[in-house]
């Protein structure tokens, strides 16, 4: 940063900046603090579960505001109250106001029956064109169940450049926003960004070809409220010595998420939550027994203590663990590459729909 032109200053002196300046590392923090203080003074309060979500009551109507950098969504049951709040916001900040059709890259479609459909059709079309795959033949599933990727697989010839990192970044955005059906395979191919081979690049292109076919439309878990609300597919940070241990660790991770979701629902809605606890479905009987009947055993004593809090949450009734058959376990779509029939069955059960299917209905 340099002083403005024409400003004469002596050697050894510095300028003190007394306001935030766009481009500085602390600028985004200053903006967030300024906007948050304004909302607090206006009558909003930050919810416990997420500091970027604000809640308030105006004219006996509940209002929610979601802030993402300098983009915001405002919800209210009554449009008149909403417009009054927007007018007050514009008195303090320059803002462009429009009915929501897109937010942080996610397209929002409102249906006549009152449901809301999130998708990324336009984004998928753009990235297919960007990576010259808009003319490729489509695929019905994102990964070949018979292909195992490793760091030794078919290295590229020296000097060959492929946009691997850029492609992975584009796919990861989709996997965490509107396309949980590609979360597992994206988590796999992103592990080879440092030295991708031809087989890895082919696997990435297959994901794009699957997206083309469905553009209208590890530990793993998914929470559902008519459709997938939050999901996860990630490589565990520790090496599990058995499937029981792997399931135990995955369930512990899912419990953390479900407790946060419960808090979020309490903060933003007036829904009366039952006192019976939230049910988690696990397809490993041994893991369930280990959770419900903990015993000292040489095969499980080494499991990190941080994962054992799941027992406490089961004991106090916050969480109920129930068995589900492996063929009915929705989270399987986040932990392994599946054959076409099972993949499409689980995708349907997750309520992931094609846009043309929704329009026809």
73 touches 65 (CB < 8 A): yes
Cβ–Cβ < 8 Å for 329, 220:
no
Residue 128 has pLDDT above 90, yes or no: yes
Token look-up 């509940």 returns 62
Q: What is the pTM of this model?
A: 0.62
Cβ burial, residue 164 (10 Å; 0-12/13-18/19+): buried
The confidence score (pLDDT) of residue 166 equals 95
The total number of residues shown for the chain amounts to 361
Report residue 102: phi and psi, to 5°: -155, 140
| Of the candidates 220, 222, 226, the residue with the CA atom closest to the CA atom of residue 186 | 220
- Number of Cα atoms under 13 Å in the Cβ half of residue 317: 3
Cβ neighbours of 88 (radius 10 Å): 13
| Span 51-95, pLDDT tens digits | 889 999 988 888 999 998 888 888 888 889 988 988 988 999 988
- Cα–Cα distance, 271 to 67 (Å, whole number): 23
Q: Strand order in 71-76's β-sheet?
A: 45-46, 53-58, 61-68, 71-76
In this prediction, residue 129 carries a pLDDT of 93
Q: Read off the pLDDT of residues 275-306 as tens digits, 9 standing for 90 and up.
A: 677 888 888 888 888 777 765 455 555 565 55
Name the residue ranges covered by the structural domains of the chain: 26-97, 121-214, 218-355
Please tell me the predicted confidence (pLDDT) of residue 218.
45
3-state secondary structure 31-62: HHHHHHHHHHHHCCEECCCCCCEEEEEECCEE
Q: How confident is the model at residue 189 (pLDDT cuts 50, 70, 90)?
A: very high
* 3-state secondary structure string across 149-169: CCCCCCECCCCCCCCHHHHHH
Distance CA 287, CA 323 (A): 10
- Judged against a pLDDT cut of 50, whether residue 139 lies above it is answered with yes
Whole-number Å distance between alpha carbons of 120 and 217: 8
- Has residue 216 got a pLDDT over 50? no
Of residues 239 and 107, more confidently modeled: 107
Residues 338-357 have pLDDT tens digits of 888 888 888 877 777 665 54
pLDDT digits (tens, 9 = 90+) for 234-283: 555 554 546 677 777 778 888 888 888 888 877 877 766 666 778 888 88
């Amino acid at each position: 940063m340099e002083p403005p032109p024409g400003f004469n200053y002596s050697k050894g002196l510095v300028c003190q900046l007394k306001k935030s300046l766009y481009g500085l590392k602390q600028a985004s923090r200053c903006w967030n603090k300024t906007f948050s203080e304004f909302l607090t003074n206006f009558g909003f309060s930050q919810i416990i579960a997420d500091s970027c979500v604000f809640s308030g009551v105006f004219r006996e109507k509940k209002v929610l505001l979601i802030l993402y950098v300098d983009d915001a969504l405002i919800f209210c049951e009554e449009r008149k109250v909403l417009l009054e709040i927007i007018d007050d916001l514009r008195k303090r900040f320059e803002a462009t106001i429009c009915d929501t059709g897109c937010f942080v890259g996610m397209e929002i479609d409102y249906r006549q029956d009152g449901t809301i459909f999130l998708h990324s059709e336009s984004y998928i079309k753009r990235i297919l064109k960007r990576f010259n795959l808009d003319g490729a033949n489509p695929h019905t599933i994102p990964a070949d169940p018979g292909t195992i990727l490793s760091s030794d697989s078919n290295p590229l010839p020296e000097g060959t450049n492929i946009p691997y990192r850029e492609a992975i970044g584009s796919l990861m955005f989709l996997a965490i926003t509107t396309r949980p059906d590609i979360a597992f395979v994206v988590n796999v191919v992103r592990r080879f960004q440092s030295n991708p081979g031809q087989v890895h690049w082919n696997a990435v292109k297959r994901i794009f070809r699957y997206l083309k076919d469905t553009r209208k439309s590890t530990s793993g878990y998914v929470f559902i409220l008519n459709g997938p609300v939050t999901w996860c597919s990630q490589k565990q940070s520790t090496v599990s010595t058995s499937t029981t241990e792997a399931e135990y660790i995955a369930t512990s991770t899912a419990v953390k998420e479900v407790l946060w979701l419960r808090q979020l629902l309490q903060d933003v809605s007036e829904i009366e939550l039952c006192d019976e606890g939230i049910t988690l479905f696990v397809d490993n009987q041994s893991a369930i027994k280990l959770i419900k009947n903990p015993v000292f055993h040489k095969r499980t004593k080494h499991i990190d203590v941080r994962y054992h809090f799941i027992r406490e949450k089961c004991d106090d009734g916050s969480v109920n663990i129930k068995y589900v058959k492996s063929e009915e376990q929705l989270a399987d779509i986040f932990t392994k590459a599946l054959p076409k029939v099972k993949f499409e069955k689980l995708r349907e059960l997750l309520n992931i729909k094609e846009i043309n299917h929704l329009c026809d209905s």
